[in-house]
Structures are given as structure tokens and as C-alpha cells.
Amino acid sequence: MTPAPVPPVPVPAPDSVPVSVPHNGPLVTEDDIAAVTEALRSGWLATGPRTAALEAAFAERFHPLHASAVSSGTAGLTLALRGAGLGDNGATVAVPTYGCSALLDAVLVAGCTPLVVDVTERTLGIDPGRLDPAHPIDAVIAVHTHGHPADLDALRPKTALLVEDCCQSLGGRDERGRPLGAIGDASVFSFYATKVIAAGEGGMLLQRDPAARDHVRGYQDPGAREVYAPRFNHRLSDPAAALALSQFRRLDEIAAHRRAVAARYTAALPPHVAPPPGLAPGQVPYRYCLRAAGRAQQQRWIGHLRAAGIAADPLIPARHLLHRQLGLEPREYPVAERVVDSTVSVPLFAALTEEQADRVAEALTGLPD
Ligand SMILES: *Cc1c(COP(=O)(O)O)cnc(C)c1O
């Protein structure tokens, strides 16, 4: 029996208009299929030589950091904290409120205390100006949101441990040309189905300190525990590692495609629409997010794009902002509260074809006021 085709990532479709350009979708090439097939034929399904090869590839690109493959980005963030000895002691970890709930999960599962901070209008990363010097923090998880580099230089003096969340920024560089993921003390990547590299699930943790790396070994693989203590299993399987490695080898190509599509969109914008504020040379755009003047314009733009069969998306609803998830006062987070009501994310993904990009560009040109 022929297996059913794998459906694309589901997108919230408008009522009646068929969506022909989805919001996301992975690109699986013949090379990827051959790499996974080879892993399956080898009979080695558990963590093994392909996982080690993936770690080696990251360690080479991000020299001198040490690489540990893990089961997800969330697992990597948890272990970034644990590796620095921050587990189970209520250490304060600052996270941006405009982010995915994985940030809260990682901090709380590690036994730390989240300090949720508003973001900057431009990068959507944590706003260093909102970190009160009177309130000591043990770690910052700086997210390079949508691929835009967070302000690491301003964050550095405010924290003992600087963790870069690179789940949306693999392959990018900051304004000074430094590779994102090679600047902080630790950095974390995700290989979830919608990320820059899509292996279904998976992640990578990079750490500068070899002792911190050794410390997470027993967490990464419970079989490596020296002394028994209850732990999750954070291992990556070899078929997933084979897929991630095959895509990692194409990273420069994937990055060039994303940059070209973003440039094509920017060139198509009418004069009354500004390009995404955080976009800058060097980065790998993960999302292409226009910023409307407010909710009414956001809805008009989304309506216009969806009527053209394009799955434009507001991304994070206000209720998913991390401060709201913790029941904190929305007025304390004015930037993030404004951003959710103005964001219009336009399809930008590895499998996006030339024709689809043209179609999106054409619709962008016609954006209403
Ligand atoms: C996807 C993502 C994560 C979590 O990664 P998983 O692999 O899904 O656990 C964490 N942070 C950011 C910014 C992400 O985009």
C-alpha cells in the first residue's frame, strides 16, 4: 500500500478561501531521504555514529564550543542551565516575554525562577534596559527572535550566564559579523519540523566550558549517570541525527534562499509599508514579519493576503505572551502587547518555491492602507 503523503504543517486557514501558499513547510531533499535510509539500513536506531557526526559538525562550525545533541530545543535550554550548576536552586533566569512557552518550560523544569522581561521594538529580543541592576539575575536566555540578533553586548555585563536561544537563527551573524550561537556561554538550537533545519524533533546544545559540557552528559544520556538521580531522557536518535546532518550540510544554501526570498518581499513592498524592523544583513531571516500600525491595519493586511490564498499569520496571540501565561500585569509589557496586535507574518520557509514567492510578492505590492 502506498503511504499517504505527509500533510504540510497545518495553518489556520480563512473560512472559504483555499490556502495555496502555506505559512510553513519543510524541504526534504533526495539527499535527506538517502541519509535517513542509510541510517535505517545500518540497523543503528539509537544514539550512535550519526549523532556523533552531527555533534562534530556543529563543534567544527562553532569552534571552540562543545556540542551535545539533545532531543529538543527545550531540552537543550534546560541543560544549558543545569550545565552551569543552576538547577534546582531557584536561580533567577531572565527570558523575553515575546517567545515560545518552551522558555518557561525550560526554566521551570530546571528548577529555576523565570524573570519575564519586555522586548525591544526592533529586534523582539529581551530589552537590556529593563533588567534592573538592583535585581540580581543568574542567567539570561537571549532569543534571536525571527533571526534578529539580540543585543548580547548590552546583556553580557548584566548576567553571569548568557545563553543564546538560536532556535530561530541558525546560520546567522550579528552586526559585528560574529556567528550567532558562538557569542554567549551556551547556545541552543532546535531541529523541530518548522525550524531552519527540520529533523522532525531534535536539538543541539553548545557550551564554552568543557566542565559544563561534562556536567550535562549524564542528563543528555541517563545511561551516563555516575550516581543515580531521576532524570528525563534527552537523547537524539540516529535517523533524526542523519536528517539533521544532511540539512546542516546545506545550511548555506538554506540561508541564501531565505535571504533571497526576504529581499524579494522587501523589494515588493509599497511605499506605505516598512520592511520588518529587525531585518539586517548577516542574519538568516526565519520569519518575515511586517509591523502594521495597529490591530485594524493588521487585520486588513491579513485579510488581503489570505484573500490571495496566502497563509499570513499574526503568530503569537496575546494570551501566549509569557507574562500573561504567568498571570503578570500586561501594562508592564507594553512593547510585546503592541507587537502581537501589529505583526503580520508572511510565508518564508525552505520549501517555498519561486512561483509561491512571486505570488506573495505580488500580494504584498497590493497591501491596503
Ligand atoms: C522552537 C523554539 C524553542 C523550542 O524548541 P523545541 O525543539 O520545539 O523544544 C525554543 N525557543 C525558540 C525561540 C523556539 O523557536
The number of domains in the chain is 2
**Is residue 52 located within the same domain as residue 92?**
yes
SS3 at position 79: helix
Annotate 153-186 with three-state secondary structure.
Answer: HHHHHHCCEEEEECCCCCCCECCCCCECCCCCCE
325, containing H or E segment:
helix 322-325
Which amino acid residue places its CA nearest to atom 14 of ligand 1? Answer: 167
Which amino acid residue places its CA nearest to atom 12 of ligand 1? Answer: 167
State the pLDDT at residue 88.
Answer: 82
Q: Say what the pTM is.
A: 0.94
Which amino acid residue places its CA nearest to atom 5 of ligand 1? Answer: 73
**Is residue 310 located within the same domain as residue 200?**
no
State the pLDDT at residue 18.
Answer: 60
143 - beta bridge partners? 165
Which amino acid residue places its CA nearest to atom 15 of ligand 1? Answer: 167
pLDDT at 81 over 50: yes
State the pLDDT at residue 11.
Answer: 45
**187 occurs within a structural domain:** yes
**Is residue 224 located within the same domain as residue 110?**
yes
Query: Tens digit of pLDDT for each residue in 326-348?
Result: 999 999 999 999 999 999 999 99
Binned at pLDDT 50, 70 and 90, residue 79 comes out as: very high
**198 occurs within a structural domain:** yes
Q: How far is the CA of 1 from the centre of ligand 1 (A)?
A: 35
Query: Tens digit of pLDDT for each residue in 168-194?
Result: 999 999 999 999 999 999 999 999 999
pLDDT at 319 over 90: yes
pLDDT at 13 over 90: no
**1 occurs within a structural domain:** no
**Is residue 69 located within the same domain as residue 160?**
yes
Q: What is the number of the ligand 1 atom nearest to the C-alpha of 76? A: 9
CA-based angle 281:285:287, to the nearest 5? 145
Q: What is the number of the ligand 1 atom nearest to the C-alpha of 191? A: 7
CATH code of the domain in which 71 resides: 3.40.640.10
Boundary-marking domain end, from 213, 248, 283? 248
Structural domain for 133, as ranges: 30-248
Boundary-marking domain end, from 248, 280, 297? 248
Range with lowest mean pLDDT among 43-52, 102-111, 127-136, 203-212 = 127-136
Residue carrying C-alpha cell 534527552: 234
pLDDT at 4 over 60: no
State the pLDDT at residue 10.
Answer: 44
**Is residue 180 located within the same domain as residue 272?**
no
Q: What is the number of the ligand 1 atom nearest to the C-alpha of 72? A: 7
Distance of CA 13 to the CA centre of its chain: 23
Q: Are strands 113-117 and 139-143 parallel, antiparallel or unpaired?
A: unpaired
**Is residue 349 located within the same domain as residue 225?**
no
Cβ atoms of residues 83 and 102 within 8 Å: no
